[in-house]
Structure 1
Amino acid sequence: MNDLVSIITPSYKSKKFIEETINSVLSQTYINWEMIIVDDCSPDDSNHVIEFYVKKDNRINLIKLDKNSGPAIARNKGIEVAKGRYIAFLDSDDLWLPQKLERQINFMKENGLAFTYSSYYIISEDGKNIGEFKTKEYINYNTMLKTCSVGCLTAIYDIEKIGKIFMPLIPKGQDYATWLKIFKKIKYSKGILEPLAMYRIVENSVSSNKIRAAKQQWKIYRKVENLNIFKSLYYFIFYAYNGVKKYK
């Protein structure tokens, strides 16, 4: 029996895309998974869609938070209750290709890796392919400080090797700060250069505002990683340069 993978999906106003997201998990060739969807007090009726799938497949679970708390707390709640050896992340508007889990779990086992990631396609709000994010084959803590080469929808880590890693409670960039925490525990990681997922660009999404993202990047350097002003400037120059050429 393959090891259980726990898929963490925060849900807020997700009615428009959540069905497609769930179906991309149901289509996985790797079948030993649990999908933990954490409702962050969504005001729409996305839970009606989710509950339909909960009844349809007992691998899908819905947890409802008592108050709107943001994606970090929602993801952390999912991580807290997860039963799998592996933790994977998939937001409620993103998609996985059918062999994503199978390819990545096999890759982790074959290479003895605690953490992996992959390249991914970029799609528009209506699902059209508009580009591709090509990740780096090797990443360590220092290269991650220069640019985030890990899309949250592709990240998987092994609890048996590094324990449960929870996301820091900061306003934005929680996933990036989490990868930095992981790289403090491991020397390096390898990624799959083949795209295994589809990241949806949604208008007014948190990640679509580049100025806010840059401000948060600076805060992570200074407040989360506690880098001095000179190191922060050094890495921020790389971050700004890489941000310009990130997507082809």
Structure 2
Amino acid sequence: MPSSPEVSIIVPVHNNEEQVEAALKSCRAQTLENIEIICVDDASTDRSAEVIDAAQQLDRRIRLLRLAVNSSPFQARRRGVQAALAPYVLFLDGDDELLPGAAEKTLRRAQELNSDLVGFGIDVVAASRDSVADFERRLQPRYAELSHEAVLPGLFPPEGPVQMQVWRYLFRTELVRLAYSRLPSTLRLYRADDLPISFLAAAAARQYSSVPDKLYRYHFQRGPSGRRVETTDQFAFYLHSIDALDALTQIVRQQAAHGGSSGETLLASYEAAKLTVIGNVVKYLPGLENPSLAASCLEVLHQRVSEQDTVRAMEQRSSGPQPRTAPEIQPLTGSTQQLR
């Protein structure tokens, strides 16, 4: 492997022995050869590490880092970012795949426009295409380019709902490191773990661009999400999403207080993200088939978020994204490496 890879692909892994071989195969098949593949095993209890070890024997570009105790996808990605040698990073979950041109096409776009963030299309795999068509549509890039103050509201539209997945972007590595540096080093996030990094990166980015190609294959509901709630303990798992909001709240308020009009934009985008996260939790509330369990889960929810925000989140989910004009795209001036 060359000493200076152009893109680092970071793969957090936890008990993905059945899928991680395909994930790594998709990395090894990248048309851009000058990459490194950093697998971070988050204390798996299955054969995930053995599968990665075997892949290392086939490809020296693969590196395996191990966390001694399960620390959450948030921390696994942090460890990968810390170890990355390339100026740009892609994130790949251990149960998904990259399409062959992902690294090459996004890097080329980043270099053309000196972009901090490059978005791209997502291919959603599910048993029924009809069940994921709207979701897949929402994951596709909305803008070809965004600059300066237009980046955050373009990626986190104040009217919501928002998409917060980190695997939707190629990131400038220093941008992600800056985002992580603003969050506690011991923070563990098991739900909505993408939000703090994608939001803070978008808030700091000076230039965003995108490619329309679908470059990531996401397997819908392959993980623990989407399972029916039958106990309050199960609902509490989904409620961990609120931890991601708690991690961001103080940072956003402090930055907004000194940001003038940009501070108002920051708060509006954060509010949309907050309601999206709450709305994603609300969808797991049991229905009329179990009113007593639904009432118990709702009581647990309101220990973390207000009834008013719950109602607003439900309204946001029911209304969906509204048509809007593109944020003002400012001319490309100065270096986009100047992070705010």
TM superposition score normalised by structure 1:
0.81
User: Greater share of helix residues, 1 or 2?
Assistant: 2
User: Cα offset for 1:154?
Assistant: 2.9
Q: Which moved more, 1:98-107 or 1:197-206?
A: 197-206
Counterparts of 2:176 and 2:110, CA distance in 1: 16
Does the 8 Å CA contact 2:116/2:206 hold for their aligned counterparts?
no
- 2:101 corresponds to which letter in structure 1? Q
Change in CA separation of 1:221 and 1:118 when aligned onto 2, cut-off 3 Å: same
User: Cα offset for 1:205?
Assistant: 2.7
- 1:235 corresponds to which letter in structure 2? A
User: Greater share of strand residues, 1 or 2?
Assistant: 1
Q: Which moved more, 1:90-99 or 1:133-142?
A: 133-142
Match of residue 154 from structure 1: 168
Match of residue 56 from structure 1: 58
1:75 aligns with 2:77: yes
Counterparts of 2:131 and 2:100, CA distance in 1: 17
Q: Deviations over 1:147-168 (max 9, x none)?
A: 44453223222236x4734544
- 2:59 corresponds to which letter in structure 1? D
Change in CA separation of 1:39 and 1:211 when aligned onto 2, cut-off 3 Å: closer
- 2:171 corresponds to which letter in structure 1? Y
Change in CA separation of 1:8 and 1:67 when aligned onto 2, cut-off 3 Å: same
Match of residue 304 from structure 2: none
Structure 1: gaps spanning 5 or more residues? none
> Match of 1:191, SS?
strand
1:142 to 153, 156, 166: 153
- 2:252 corresponds to which letter in structure 1? E
Match of residue 177 from structure 2: 164
User: Cα offset for 1:212?
Assistant: 3.7
> Match of 1:22, SS?
helix
Structure 2: gaps spanning 5 or more residues? 228-234, 258-263, 277-312, 322-340
Counterparts of 2:51 and 2:131, CA distance in 1: 25
Does the 8 Å CA contact 1:96/1:197 hold for their aligned counterparts?
yes
Counterparts of 2:226 and 2:172, CA distance in 1: 26
Does the 8 Å CA contact 2:166/2:198 hold for their aligned counterparts?
no
Change in CA separation of 1:164 and 1:125 when aligned onto 2, cut-off 3 Å: farther
Q: Which structure has the bigger radius of gyration?
A: 2
Paired residues for 1:149-228 under 5 Å: 149=163, 151-159=165-173, 162=175, 164-165=177-178, 167=180, 168=183, 169-171=187-189, 172-203=191-222, 205-206=224-225, 212=239, 215=242, 219=246, 222-226=249-253
Percent identity between the two aligned chains? 20
Change in CA separation of 1:78 and 1:3 when aligned onto 2, cut-off 3 Å: closer
Counterparts of 1:60 and 1:183, CA distance in 2: 29
Does the 8 Å CA contact 2:43/2:66 hold for their aligned counterparts?
yes
Q: CA RMSD in A?
A: 3.5
Does the 8 Å CA contact 1:121/1:129 hold for their aligned counterparts?
no
Counterparts of 1:38 and 1:136, CA distance in 2: 31
Q: Which moved more, 1:109-118 or 1:167-176?
A: 167-176
Match of residue 283 from structure 2: none
